[in-house]
Amino acid sequence: MTQKIAPFWSGPYIFILPALLVYVIFMIVPFVGTIGLSLIKWEGFSFDDIKFIGLQNYRDLLVDSVYWLSLRNSLVFVAAAVAFQCTLGLIVALLLEQKLAIGNFLRGSYFIPAIISLIIIGIAFESLLNPTLGVLDKILRTVGLEKFSVLGMWLASKKKAIWVLILIQGWYGFGWSMFIFISRLKLIDPQLYEAAEIDGATAWQKNLYVSIPLLRGVAPVAVLFAAMSAMKIFTVPYVMTRGGPNHGTEVLATWAFSHGIAYQHVGYGSAISVTLLIFGMILGFFIFKAMGMGRSNA
Amino acid sequence: MQKRIGKVLVCSSLVVCLMAGLTSFGGAETTLSLWDQKNSPKEREAVEYIIGIFEKEYPEVKITRRIMPNLEADQMVRMAFAGGTPPDLSECQDPYTMVKYFQKGLTMDLTEWYKEYGDRYPLGVKSAMNFDGYYIAVPMAELVTMAVFYNKKLLADLGLTEPENYGEFCQALEAAKARGLTPIPIGTKAGWPGLHIYQHFLRETVGAATINDMIFRTDPNKGPRWTDPGFVRAAKYVDEMRQNGYFSKGAAMSSFDAGKMEWLGGRGPFFITGSWVPSFDFPPGFEWDFFWFPHIVGELGYYRNDDYIDLFASLQVSSTTSHPELCLDFLEVWTRPEVQHKAWFEIANFIPVVKGAAPEEELSKFQKAQLELSKHNTGTYHAMDCWMPPAVGFGALYSDMTALFAGEITPIELGKHMEKVHVEELKKLQE
């Protein structure tokens, strides 16, 4: 019996057409356009000045030390985001499933950072961490934790500033990981926990031998989400440090922005953006494969 | 069925006609778009005042105003031009790009307008708006100078008076530091506040002419270099100040506003910035005064009276505006002496550049000093960040200033890096 192939203009394709159209217009077309821009030299004033230069922008990237630094910083963000966000998200999700009286309230509270604008978060933390005017230093000194009061000064250090931004980004994003894990935890059959209890399992053992193994299916989703979000990070470094000091917190997105928008190097900035996308795709592919996504669980 | 279709058609036609009528009724008004960066309260009020005057004289015209953030404003305007939908009138604080707009035919030639109204400006100011024989923009408001502003009460408490030279200034800074104050509150995350201090030292070590030579350098193999002793020495002066603890803690990563709040909060006596200080919202009882950045004994600048005097903001008109005549009329209203007097002199406390807008008898001490400086200097120089190619001025210079204030690079490294970036950029522009 030959398989019937649904014609394009039948139900299923009609229903996905609007979303596909939006995707093509707002994702594919700009992406193709960016690739085109990466092959030109243009200051961004008038289309008459566009000059095709082939792969020259990509050759220039090879000798741009700030580009490689920004790539390294982006990868550090990814590694730290995955480790920090997913681990914290998992721990908080497991704790919140312990039938606390204010569990629902806490679930909502921990998710709040994820719905606040990153610009507001950046400005707020910049004020909090200001060594002279910020409240954090004062609070730490008041409670006798003076040795931790240098956190604001870390932002002025090329090597340490990135860790402050990672903490802030982690605080912002762990709610998403928590949300993903909680949604899976809710689906676990309670009888499994009852059976474990009958066998004498402690709360810790229930988490270790029941909850965590059953979360393996959604862990790749949380990791992928955190990694992709970190790879394209822009707002927090831009608002808080502008990529400084001395490019210590420069990431691919901020460097692309600087060249493409501020320095009138539209082609070069586009080339950086294209490499950001390529690295993101490679990273996504590795995560996909490494975590066994797409494979059947049978 | 046919009757029903007929009813639907009639109703639809009526709705469309109604909407068209309403639209055309609402659209009887002509709209001019103005994008500017006057975002502090007094500056906003000043612009609103000018808009009010214009709309009163031209009741059929409405000005829609967009207030842009300072750091991103020029990028926003450039994107609008590139996208083909620029505002009718826009503020430009980036003279380098302003010239490019005109060269590409994106902004209007205002030469004819200047023939009629150009005499409202002093010759020096007029010539600053001239490029290759064409007038390309109109100065918006004020003459900008840079000074050391100080908290009068704090200085008196420290038992100090205005320093006569840099050595005395450093003694004053030490005295403030010994008292537990921040000698110079500053936040230079954006780069430009620190750059202003660097340029003060450049005035001393290389002089106005050499600063301008660097700004307008077009040949990578000619002209001054960032690694020249004078440029490196200026950076060393900044670095010494940092090492001596004269700047705010974490200055490299604080915003200009944070530094301003520190100064207004009485945490430090001196605030080194531009002539927009009089437009600040001062706390009650705060008294300030100023002096020009002191000369350094033994340096070139000690024997001269060079200083920074620049026209920051200009209004340009898009060449694709649908209402060129109205835009020119708006410029005429904007540049009237009485309008400039009310808006910029009375409301914003600036010293407007239009002749007659600031009567001598009404000038404050600071404004009189600014005028004196403009008349009796030995040489003036521009703001390096605004006049050089963006990758050099807004890019490397800002970033290296922040790094210098953070102690992340040495003065020599700054010189080498700036020279490398500047030469690369000049070569790209030559291609």
d(CA B215, CA B388): 5
Mean pLDDT of A167-191: 90
Which positions ≥6 away from B263 have C-beta within 8 Å? B149, B151, B185, B270, B271
Measure CB to CB from residue B252 to each of A156, A243, A259 and give the nearest one.
Answer: A156
Q: Do A44 and B78 touch (CB under 8 A)?
A: yes
* Domain ranges within chain A, ordered by starting residue: 55-86+100-177+214-290
Q: Which of B204, B291, B194 is CA-nearest to residue B239?
A: B194
Q: Show residues of chain A in contact with B394, CB under 8 Å.
A: 262-263
pLDDT, residue B59, reads: 95
Who has greater pLDDT, A139 or A30?
A: A30
Give the confidence band of A140 by pLDDT, cuts at 50, 70, 90.
confident
pLDDT, residue A298, reads: 45
- From the candidates A60, A128, A133, A265, which should be mutated to test the interface with B, based on the most B CB atoms within 10 A? A133
Which helix (H) or strand (E) segment holds residue B338: the answer is helix B337-340
* Domain ranges within chain B, ordered by starting residue: 29-139+311-371, 144-306+379-430
Provide the 10 A C-beta neighbour count for residue B84.
10
In B216-255, which ranges are continuous DSSP H helix? 229-243
Using an 8 Å Cβ cutoff, are B244 and B173 in contact? Answer: yes
Residue A245: is the preceding peptide bond cis (ω within 30°)? yes
Residue of chain B minimizing CA distance to A49: B104
Name the residue type at position B268: G
CA atoms within 13 A on the CB side of B331: 29
Using an 8 Å Cβ cutoff, are A266 and A44 in contact? Answer: yes
Provide the 10 A C-beta neighbour count for residue B217.
18
Distance from CA of B57 to the nearest CA of A (A): 35
Instruction: Output the tens digit of pLDDT for each of chain B's 431 residues.
Output: 656 666 666 666 666 666 555 555 545 589 999 999 998 889 999 999 999 999 999 999 999 999 998 878 888 898 899 888 999 999 998 888 999 999 999 999 999 999 999 999 888 788 888 888 999 999 987 788 999 999 999 999 999 999 999 999 999 999 999 999 999 999 999 999 999 999 999 999 999 999 999 999 999 999 999 999 999 999 999 999 999 999 999 899 899 999 999 999 999 999 999 998 988 889 999 999 999 999 999 999 999 989 888 877 899 999 999 999 999 999 999 999 999 999 998 998 888 888 888 888 888 899 889 888 888 888 889 899 989 999 999 999 999 999 999 999 999 999 999 999 999 999 998 88
Distance from CA of B137 to the nearest CA of A (A): 17
Cβ-based burial of B200 (10 A; exposed 0-12, middle 13-18, buried ≥19)? buried
Q: Do B258 and A132 touch (CB under 8 A)?
A: yes
pLDDT, residue A9, reads: 64
Give the confidence band of A8 by pLDDT, cuts at 50, 70, 90.
low
Q: Do A157 and B408 touch (CB under 8 A)?
A: yes
Mean pLDDT of A8-19: 79
- Is it the case that residue A297 has pLDDT exceeding 60? no
Fold of B144-306+379-430: D-Maltodextrin-Binding Protein; domain 2 (3.40.190)
Q: Give me the architecture of the B29-139+311-371 domain, per CATH.
A: 3-Layer(aba) Sandwich (3.40)
DSSP at A27: I
Q: Show residues of chain A in contact with B191, CB under 8 Å.
A: 242
pLDDT, residue B19, reads: 59
Cβ-based burial of B115 (10 A; exposed 0-12, middle 13-18, buried ≥19)? exposed
pLDDT, residue B412, reads: 97
Q: Do B75 and A262 touch (CB under 8 A)?
A: yes
Mean pLDDT of A153-158: 84
d(CA B360, CA B347): 17
Give the confidence band of A203 by pLDDT, cuts at 50, 70, 90.
confident
SS3 B187: coil
Record the pTM.
Answer: 0.86
Taking the Cβ of residue B189 and every Cβ of chain A, the question of whether any pair is shorter than 8 Å is answered with yes
Q: Which of A145, A166, A141 is CA-nearest to residue A155?
A: A166
SS3 B288: strand
Using an 8 Å Cβ cutoff, are B58 and B326 in contact? Answer: yes
SS3 B142: strand
Q: Show residues of chain A in contact with B100, CB under 8 Å.
A: 43, 45
> Comparing A264-278, A279-293, B182-196, B314-328, which segment has the lowest mean pLDDT?
A279-293
d(CA B234, CA B90): 35
Q: Show residues of chain B in contact with A248, CB under 8 Å.
A: 408
pLDDT, residue A4, reads: 66
Give the confidence band of A102 by pLDDT, cuts at 50, 70, 90.
confident
Q: Show residues of chain A in contact with B399, CB under 8 Å.
A: 242-244, 246-247
Terminal Cα-to-Cα distance of chain B (whole angstroms): 71
Superfamily of domain A55-86+100-177+214-290: MetI-like (1.10.3720.10)
Ranges assigned E (strand) in chain A: 40-41, 51-52
Within this chain, domains B29-139+311-371 and B144-306+379-430 share the same CATH topology: yes
DSSP at B345: I
CB interface of B with A, residues 163-182, below 8 Å: 182
Q: Do B250 and A131 touch (CB under 8 A)?
A: yes
Which positions ≥6 away from B184 have C-beta within 8 Å? B173, B241, B246, B247, B248, B268, B270, B271, B272
Which positions ≥6 away from A79 have C-beta within 8 Å? none
Mean pLDDT of A60-87: 93
Q: Show residues of chain B in contact with A160, CB under 8 Å.
A: none
pLDDT, residue B20, reads: 56
Distance from CA of A294 to the nearest CA of B (A): 42
Measure CB to CB from residue B390 to each of A243, A247, A264 and give the nearest one.
Answer: A264
pLDDT, residue A100, reads: 74
Measure CB to CB from residue B189 to each of A133, A241, A263 and give the nearest one.
Answer: A241
